[in-house]
């Protein structure tokens, strides 16, 4: 069963627009961890943010913000005032308690045009 | 900032040959992982390693694959007899404890011809 679903395959925006990436997850655990990773064209996986299931407080970090809602099993990620360098594939991932592995979504390709 | 390093960055090998991908995890981390990403697809878990043994492996990680921590710093993935479908980016990763942030290396791109 798919544990992490990223329904958006591709998003294209013009520079300075905001971009929101959707992520829906599925787990039976009460303790779990959610992540967003960025994969630029160079191919590496860059950690962006991590959230624990017991902390639903939403935060802003620079141009990044996230909206974690347990009631809808969603962990959405927003890039404010997008820049060309934000062009990448963004992956949402889930790690369940007592589990060692990340389950990744299929990724959303973000293209920011100048 | 500490990082996970991987070598080689790119390797081309003949089908049937053995390949060893090397990784140096972040020094104070305890959990080590290998993930795979076939071109254009999502990142898939292969194996996790803790306390000098495999803690979990996926169905992809069959008898062709093995992992080893030969010394205090390196963590290797060996593919015994490569197949065309093994062509992928292989990511090494490490974390301090389960649930903690998993940091990835830059990947080793394997092309099997």
pLDDT of residue B91: 97
Q: Indicate whether B97 pLDDT > 80.
A: no
Verify cis geometry, omega within 30 degrees of 0, for the bond prior to B94.
no
In Å, how far from its chain's centre is CA B68?
A: 10
The answer to whether B56 contacts A47, with C-beta atoms less than 8 Å apart, is no
Other C-beta atoms lying within 10 Å of the C-beta of residue A75: 26
Confirm or reject contact between A24 and chain B (CB < 8 A).
Answer: no
Tell me: cis bond preceding B8? Omega within 30 of 0 counts: yes
Mean pLDDT to the nearest integer, B69-86: 93
In the block, residue with structure tokens 């169905």: B59
- The predicted pLDDT at position A1 comes to 58
**Confidence bin at B99 (pLDDT 50/70/90):** low
- Collect all residues with Cβ–Cβ distance below 8 Å to B104 and sequence separation of at least 6: A37, A44, A45, A46, A47, B4, B35, B91, B92, B93
Check residue A55 and give its pLDDT. 80
Report the pLDDT value the prediction gives residue A9, as an integer from 0 to 100.
Answer: 96
B51 touching A, CB under 8 A?
no
Strand B108-112 to strand B10-13: parallel, antiparallel, or no bridges (unpaired)?
parallel
Question: Which H/E stretch holds residue A69?
Answer: strand A64-69
What is the model's pLDDT at position A98? Answer: 64
Contact B42 A106 (CB under 8 A): yes
Please name the member of B55, B91, B99 whose beta carbon is closest to the beta carbon of A45. B91
Segments of chain A with pLDDT less than 70 = 1-2, 98-100
Q: CA-CA distance, A46 to A10, in Å (whole number)?
A: 19
Torsion angles phi and psi, residue A72, rounded to 5: -110, 5
Contact residues on chain B for A98, CB-CB shorter than 8 A: 98
The partner residue sitting opposite B99, judged by closest CB among A42, A97, A105, is A97
B55: nearest CB among A37, A100, A107 = A100
B104: helix, coil or strand? strand
Q: What percent of chain B has pLDDT over 70?
A: 97
Q: Please check whether residue B34 touches A, CB under 8 A.
A: no
The per-residue pLDDT for range B26-69, each reduced to its tens digit, is 988 989 999 999 998 999 999 999 989 999 999 999 999 999 99
Query: What does the pLDDT read at residue A2?
Result: 65
Q: Which of B46, B51, B42 is nearest to B98 (CA)?
A: B51
Q: What is the residue whose two structure tokens read 């062509």?
A: B87
Look at residue A68 in the predicted model and tell me its pLDDT. Answer: 92
CA distance A3 to A65: 22
Tokens 């971009």: give the residue: A19
A43 and chain B: CB distance < 8 Å anywhere? yes
Euclidean distance between CA atoms A70 and A73, whole angstroms: 5
Indicate yes or no: CB of B89 within 8 angstroms of CB of A37. no
Closest chain A residue to B33 measured between Cα atoms?
A: A101
Q: Does any CB of chain B come closer than 8 Å to the CB of residue A50? A: yes
* For B31, nearest residue in chain A (alpha carbons): A100
Q: Does B109 touch chain A (CB under 8 A)?
A: yes
Residue B53's alpha-carbon distances to A88, A94, B67, in angstroms, are 35, 23, 9
Q: Which pLDDT band holds residue B70 (cuts at 50, 70, 90)?
A: confident
pLDDT score, position A111: 97
């Amino acid at each position: 069963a798919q544990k992490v679903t990223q329904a958006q395959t591709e998003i294209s925006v013009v520079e300075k627009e905001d971009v929101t990436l959707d992520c829906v997850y599925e787990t039976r655990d009460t303790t779990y961890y959610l992540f967003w990773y960025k994969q630029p064209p160079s191919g590496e996986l860059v950690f962006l943010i991590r959230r624990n299931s017991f902390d639903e407080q939403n935060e802003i970090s620079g141009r990044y913000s996230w909206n974690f809602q347990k009631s809808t099993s969603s962990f959405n990620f927003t890039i404010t005032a997008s820049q060309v360098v934000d062009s990448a594939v963004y992956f949402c991932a889930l790690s369940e308690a007592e589990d060692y592995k990340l389950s990744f979504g299929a990724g959303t390709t973000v293209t920011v045009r100048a | 900032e500490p990082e996970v390093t991987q070598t080689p960055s790119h390797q081309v090998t003949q089908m049937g040959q053995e390949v060893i991908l090397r990784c140096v995890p972040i020094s104070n981390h305890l959990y080590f992982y290998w993930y795979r990403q076939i071109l254009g697809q999502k990142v898939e878990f292969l194996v996790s390693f803790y306390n000098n043994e495999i803690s979990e492996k996926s169905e992809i990680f069959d008898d062709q694959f093995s992992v080893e921590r030969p010394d205090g710093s390196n963590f290797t993935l060996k593919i015994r007899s490569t197949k065309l479908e093994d062509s992928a980016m292989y990511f090494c990763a490490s974390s301090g404890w389960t649930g903690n942030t998993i940091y990835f290396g830059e990947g080793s791109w394997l092309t099997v011809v």
